[in-house]
């Protein structure tokens, strides 16, 4: 009872209650401060996370654009590479074709050289043969012109059939009744180098046979002797 009626008890009680109240208020204040700090920290975290996400999205967009650019560049390079391969293939084909043409030209040149060599050999052979024939003509001229009145003329044919230099053999003393009457054989040399009869005046029916024999034997004096015999025989018919 004395404690209840103690005048200081009320003051102590009030003081104790204030102390408790102050503690609770401090605790509440601390809680509010902590909550505010946590809220501020959360806001900063969310903002930082959002900034990070936005930066990540922006980086991803840049990366995507870069990848698309690389893809387009790669496609362009593929097309360019295909065109270059096609161009190289065409160049190779052209080179191969030119090599074939070169080989063909070389073969043609070799063939022309062979033909030229053969032609040269043929010309040399004909030259030697013509040289021999010239000797025979000189011999025939001496024999027939000096002893039998044979005249040998060189003529130049004007028509296509008798084009080129020809020899004309003029026989006289054939017909006893007309010794000066001329009997003529015109002849030349063909492309193969053989004697070729162009004409005779008068015409001798056996002339093709005599021509063939001349080409086989190459004996011009004998041919002229046989022609003379034929002319004489013809005047006696």
How does the average pLDDT of the chain come out, rounded?
Answer: 82
Q: Tell me the C-alpha distance between 88 and 166, whole Å.
A: 65
pLDDT digits (tens, 9 = 90+) for 154-200: 876 554 444 457 889 999 988 888 888 999 999 888 877 788 899 99
pLDDT digits (tens, 9 = 90+) for 59-78: 888 988 888 888 888 888 88
What is the CATH architecture assignment of 149-235?
2-Layer Sandwich (3.30)
Ranked by mean pLDDT, which of 90-104, 113-127, 199-213 comes out on top? 199-213
Those residues whose C-beta lies under 8 Å from the C-beta of residue 132, and which sit 6 or more positions away, are 218
Q: What pLDDT is recorded for position 146?
A: 65
> CA end-to-end span of the chain, whole Å?
210
Strands 195-201 and 183-189: antiparallel
Q: What pLDDT is recorded for position 134?
A: 63
Q: What pLDDT is recorded for position 203?
A: 92
pLDDT digits (tens, 9 = 90+) for 28-43: 888 888 888 888 888 8
């Amino acid at each position: 009872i004395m404690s209840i009626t103690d005048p200081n008890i009320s003051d102590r009680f009030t003081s104790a209650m204030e102390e408790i109240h102050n503690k609770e208020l401090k605790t509440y204040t601390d809680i509010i401060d902590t909550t505010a700090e946590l809220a501020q920290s959360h806001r900063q975290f969310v903002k930082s996370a959002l900034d990070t996400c936005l930066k990540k999205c922006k980086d991803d967009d840049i990366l995507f654009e870069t990848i698309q650019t690389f893809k387009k560049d790669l496609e362009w390079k593929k097309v360019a590479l295909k065109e270059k391969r096609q161009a190289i293939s065409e160049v190779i084909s052209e080179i191969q074709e030119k090599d074939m043409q070169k080989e063909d030209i070389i073969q043609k040149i070799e063939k022309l050289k062979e033909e030229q060599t053969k032609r040269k050999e043929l010309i040399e052979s004909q030259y030697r043969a013509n040289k021999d024939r010239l000797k025979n003509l000189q011999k025939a001229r001496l024999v027939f012109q000096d002893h039998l009145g044979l005249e040998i003329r060189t003529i130049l044919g004007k028509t296509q059939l008798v084009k080129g230099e020809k020899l004309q053999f003029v026989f006289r003393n054939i017909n006893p009744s007309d010794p000066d009457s001329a009997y003529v054989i015109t002849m030349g040399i063909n492309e193969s180098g053989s004697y070729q009869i162009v004409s005779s005046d008068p015409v001798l029916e056996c002339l093709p046979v005599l021509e063939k024999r001349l080409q086989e034997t190459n004996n011009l004096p004998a041919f002229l002797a046989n022609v003379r015999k034929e002319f004489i025989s013809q005047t006696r018919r």
